[in-house]
Structure 1
Amino acid sequence: MKVLIIDQMHPSIVPLLEQEGFGVDYRPDISRKEIMETISAYQGLVIRSKTPMDRPLIENAQNLEFIARAGAGLDNIDLEYLEARGVKLYHAPEGNRDAVAEHVIGMLLSFFNNLFQADAQVRKGIWDREGNRGIELAGKTVGIFGYGNMGSSLAKRLSGFDVTVLAYDKYKKGYGNEYVEECSFEKIQEEADILSLHVPLTSETRNLFTPQVIEGFRKPFYLINSARGELIKFDTLNEALQNKKIKGAILDVLESEKFQAMSASQKLSFQRLSQRENVMFSPHVAGWTFESYEKINQVLVAKITGKWPIDQS
């Protein structure tokens, strides 16, 4: 079986696949036009997010048996047409769930303790203890919206911080355990001090967090988004931060992550957001560690070959 890899991957992907008997063409610099011209020669395709896996491309892949997505998100793939064609789809949220959880914890602790501000001030000779007084996590209630790989990994890591963890997932039941209390979204709206988003981007979740949903929270809260930026618009964030319904925003993802492609209104709204002191950003790297880069390959190959689950300890 021949496999084409069209994105930059950890170098372990080629020997991992070859050891399982696959013929591998590693072409991270291939253009979409070249993919369209050559895809019919392959039974497998390994991707990140270079180009949409849309109907025109899949129609050219007459011999395609599977697509393997090195990561978690599937919003760049025509899932309905893939299913209609009988093409298997693999992805690897298990490979970067630990990285996402650690990143969320790291950003939250940094935000609550003013670490970036304090570091910058001390480097300039400013010794401001009162201005950098921190907030403790202990005693807070953390709401997790979406209890899949990322949400459950975060709940586990929060267990040592003496917090109450509530989780809501529309499509799961019976997941309450020693780390988390399963609950309704209304209970999260009633009790959460911190809300962390962990759902995929779908037609259902796009712009899900409207001003009306934010207004439904009983008390001001801190928002963490390491899932997909399109879950909440820049304008909604600015409005909620302005009227203090959101006390602070910790964002690893943005409504639009290509600055040059932002509309004029998005650029203006992002500029307002970026000037707020109670907003922290990172460039969509929550799941992007040295370890996860390699673990994603191991998960993908195990799924492709029917050897999943594997021991990642």
Structure 2
Amino acid sequence: MSQTPPAILIADEMHPSLFDLLTNAGFTYVYEPKITRAELMNQLASFAGLIIRSKTTVDAELLSRATNLRFIGRAGAGLDLIDLDTAARMGIRVVHAGEGNRDAVGEQAVGMLLALLTNIVRADREVRQGIWDREGNRGYELGSLTVGLVGYGNNGSATARRLSGFGCRVLAYDKFLTNYGNQYAEEATMEQLMADADVLSLHIPLTDETRMLVNDDLINRFAKPFYLINVARGEITSLSAVVRGLESGKLRGACLDVLENEKLAKLTPDQQTTFDYLRQSDRVILTPHIAGWTHESYVRINEVLVRQLNAIANP
């Protein structure tokens, strides 16, 4: 470690395991999980590193105050909160802990899909109400379906590994990779996914290109009615298009861990109408952005993050 370890500002709430990991790696840090944006802008120039989770938006305005910042660590997978172009122009390295929660994301995706296919949520609710409807809750086997993954990075590949045990066919499309097919998934084009898939599962970041990727046009281009899984970012999927797909039969069901607007008390009237439809549908499984949010991943993310930060600070 260099003689003067780079000081890091931790601006979001973190699992306590992070602190010993940073100390053992030789870093000094200031932990300010309740810091306001105004306070952050005033203090940021004093730090060489910044660690965030989900609360802090690192935009061009904030970065303009980061005159000594050398690196930003995101304790999680997505980087949509960070202005990557501005950071690159300023020579600020950005790392994230995508592999830290990939197993948790894969398990969540498969778990939600199984719950939908076998009517677990609806059947549980009915039995608790004294309804014993076996035929009405007859399900489908995952092994009989073709699953299409969009994105074959950390989360997509981890999901494919878990799906492989069920005997289903798995297709994967990733525009940024080549020769990535393996024993868990076949490399495919988006056209192949739309032609063959019974399930579409999203494992891509939120960018200008992927925003509202799943819209009416995409849904209608699928050859067969299909199930949708979104454990990535809410704004990749138009929820109004999901409702129309469910109503038309183009969508057989949806597993949604993320929403366009996750502040449920601040939905617009149109968003409220859409959400009310989704939450009342027994063809929809909803969870509160918890894919990747396990007790194990909470610690593992920190381990991955500190390892990457150490590599930057001590090349």
One-letter amino acid of the counterpart of residue 185, structure 1: M
Match of 1:293 in 2: 298
TM-score (structure 1 length as normaliser): 0.96
Q: Which moved more, 1:268-277 or 1:83-92?
A: 268-277
Percent identity between the two aligned chains: 51
**Which residue of structure 1 lines up, in the alignment, with residue 103 of structure 2?**
98
List per-residue Cα deviations over 1:245-304 (Å, max 9, x = no partner): 011011001111112332221112222222222111000000100000000000000001
TM-score scaled by length of structure 2:
0.95
Secondary structure (helix, strand or coil) at the match of 2:144 reads: coil
Post-superposition CA distance 1:6-53 (Å, at most 9, x none): 111110111111111111111111111111111111111100121210
Specify the code of the residue in structure 2 equivalent to 1:201. Answer: L
Shift of 1:123: 2.2
Per-residue Cα deviation, 1:97-151 (whole angstroms, up to 9, x for no partner) = 0000001111111111111222222223222211221211112100001111100
- SS in structure 1 of the partner of residue 101 of structure 2: helix
**AA of the residue aligned to 1:124:** Q
Verify: 1:55 aligned to 2:60, yes or no.
yes
- Contact 2:145-2:198 at 8 Å conserved across structures: yes
* Residue 3 (structure 2) aligns with: none
Aligned length: 307
Q: Does 1:284 align with 2:283?
A: no
- Equivalent in 126, 144, 151 of residue 156 of structure 2: 151
Which residue number in structure 1 is paired with residue 233 of structure 2?
228
How far residue 228 of structure 1 moved from its aligned partner, in angstroms, is 0.9
Match for 2:128: what amino acid?
R
1:9 alignment partner AA: M
* Structure 2: distance between partners of 1:138 and 1:272: 29
* One-letter amino acid of the counterpart of residue 140, structure 2: I
Q: For residue 174 of structure 1, report the CA deviation from its aligned partner.
A: 0.3
1:15-54 aligned at under 5 Å gives the runs 15-54=20-59
**Superposed counterparts of 1:204-243, under 5 Å:** 204-243=209-248
- Any unmatched runs of 5+ in structure 2? 1-5
Q: CA RMSD in A?
A: 1.1
- In the aligned structure 1, how far is the partner of 2:129 from the partner of 2:244? 33
Of 1, 7, 13, the residue aligned with 1:8 is 13
Structure 1 segments (4+ residues) deviating >3 Å: none
Inter-partner Cα distance in structure 1 for 2:267 and 2:123: 32
Output the CA distance in 2 between the equivalents of 1:204 and 1:224: 19
Within 1, Cα distance between the matches of 2:170 and 2:270?
Answer: 36
Higher deviation after alignment, 273-282 or 291-300: 273-282
Write the distance in 2 (CA, Å) between the matches of 1:95 and 1:186: 31
**Could you tell me how far apart the structure 1 residues matched to 2:95 and 2:142 are?**
37
Cα gap change, 1:275/1:125 in structure 2, threshold over 3 Å: closer, same or farther? Answer: closer
On the 8 A contact 2:11/2:56 being kept in 1, the answer is no
